[in-house]
Copies of this chain bind each other. A is one copy, B any other.
Amino acid sequence: MGYTVTAEDLDAIALGGAFLGTGGGGDPYIGKLMARNALAEHGPVQVIDADEVADDALCVPVFMMGAPTVMVEKLPSGEEILKALAELERFLGQKAQALICVEAGGLNSTIPYAVAAITGLPLIDGDGMGRAFPELQMVSFTMHDIAATPLALADDKGNSTLFSTIDNAWTERLARAVTVQMGGAALVAAYPMSGAQMKTSILRGTMSLIREIGQTILASRAKSEHPGPALRKNLNGTHLFTGRVVDVERATTGGFARGTVKVRGVDDFQGQEMIVRFQNEFLIAETAGGEVLCSTPDLICALDADMGMPVTTEQLRYGLMIELTGVPSDPQWRTPAGIALAGPGYFGYDHEFRPLGG
C-alpha cells in the first residue's frame, strides 16, 4: 500500500538507508539535507506500491554515481539530477511517470525523494539492490536484462553526457570514466523501464524497509538502547564483531573509495581482530587468520557501538568503536546470476560465497 512521506520522515529514511548502505552510498546527512530542502519547498512525496504502476508507465531510477568521499565535499544542488532526467526524457521522447530508487544508501535512497518532491512524481516502494553496491550494473534490473542505457549523467558545472551501450558493464566503464573527469561524482538518470519491467525486476518494499530500520534506530536511541539487537532480530542478522578501529587504509582510485579497516575486538570479541575490505561499500569481513565471516553479496552493516548510528566508510577513523552486523542479501543476489554480478569473484577475491546463516 502507498503512503505519504513528509520532511519529518527523512531522519528515519536517511538513517535506514545508511544502515542498508553497508558503509557506502554517501553521507546520510547530505542526502537528508537535499531531500528536506526539496520537500520543504515542494511538499510531500507519494510512495506507491509497484503494483499501482501501469504496465506501460515510464519508470526511471535517479541516483548519484561516484565516490561518496567526493560527494561529502560537493553537495549536489538538485539541478544536476533534474538535468539528467530531462536529457533522458528528451532522448526517449517521453516523460517519466514514476521514479525508482536504485539502491539503499545515505545519498541514493534520499535523492529520489528530492526528485519526487520537485517533479511531483511518485516514488515506487522498492529498489534495485536492497542494499548499496559500488558499480552501476549491480542491480536486479541487470539480472532481468533491462539495459542501463540510455543513461544520462550530469555534473555540477553544467556538463552532461548520454550513453547508449551494448551492455551494462560497458555502461559502467564509460560512465565511470566520465564521472572521474567530472570530479569524481555525477548525478544520473538511467535504466528507463516500463511498469511491467519494473514489476518483474524491482526488489519490493525497500523504501518501507529503509524507513522501518531508521524508525527502529530512532526508537532505540530514544530509549537510550543500542539499536543493534533490535535490528538483528528484525533483519535476521548476525552479530559479526564489536571493536575499535585500529587502522584504516584508503585511496580514491578509478572513481571509487577503496580500502581496508582493521578492528580490534572488545567485550565478547576481546583478543580477536577483524579486517573489513571495502570499495565504496563493505565487501568482505574476515578474521586476522583469513576466515571469511561475511561476504558480498550479503550485507555488512556498521553501527557506531556507542551512539548506535550507521557508520559509512568515509567516517571510519582510528579509535572509533563499531559494531558489525551481517544481514542476508535478497534471494536474487544468492543465485548464480547474482553471485556472478556482485559476488566475491567479481571483486577479485578467490573465496566461494557462503551465504550468511547457511
Q: How far is the CB of A137 from chain B (nearest CB, A)?
A: 14
Closest to A173 in B: B181
Copies of this protein in the assembly total: 2
Per a CB cutoff under 8 Å, which of B158, B170, B181 touches A174? B181
A236 located at the interface, meaning its Cβ lies under 8 Å from any Cβ of chain B in the complex? no
CB interface residues, A 323-343, toward B, < 8 Å? none
For A170, list chain B residues within 8 Å (CB): 157, 159
Q: How far is the CB of A200 from chain B (nearest CB, A)?
A: 25
Q: How far is the CB of A148 from chain B (nearest CB, A)?
A: 12
Contact B159 A164 (CB under 8 A): yes
Total residues of chain A contacting the partner, CB 8 A:
20
Contact B182 A178 (CB under 8 A): no
For A91, list chain B residues within 8 Å (CB): 91, 162
Q: How far is the CB of A85 from chain B (nearest CB, A)?
A: 14
Contact B182 A174 (CB under 8 A): yes
17 contacts between A and B (CB under 8 A): A91-B91, A157-B166, A158-B165, A158-B166, A159-B163, A159-B166, A159-B170, A160-B164, A160-B165, A161-B161, A161-B178, A162-B162, A162-B164, A177-B178, A177-B180, A177-B181, A178-B178
List 18 additional contacts besides A159-B164, A177-B180; criterion CB under 8 Å.
A91-B162, A157-B166, A158-B165, A159-B165, A159-B166, A159-B170, A159-B174, A160-B164, A161-B161, A161-B163, A161-B164, A161-B178, A162-B163, A162-B164, A177-B177, A177-B178, A177-B181, A178-B178
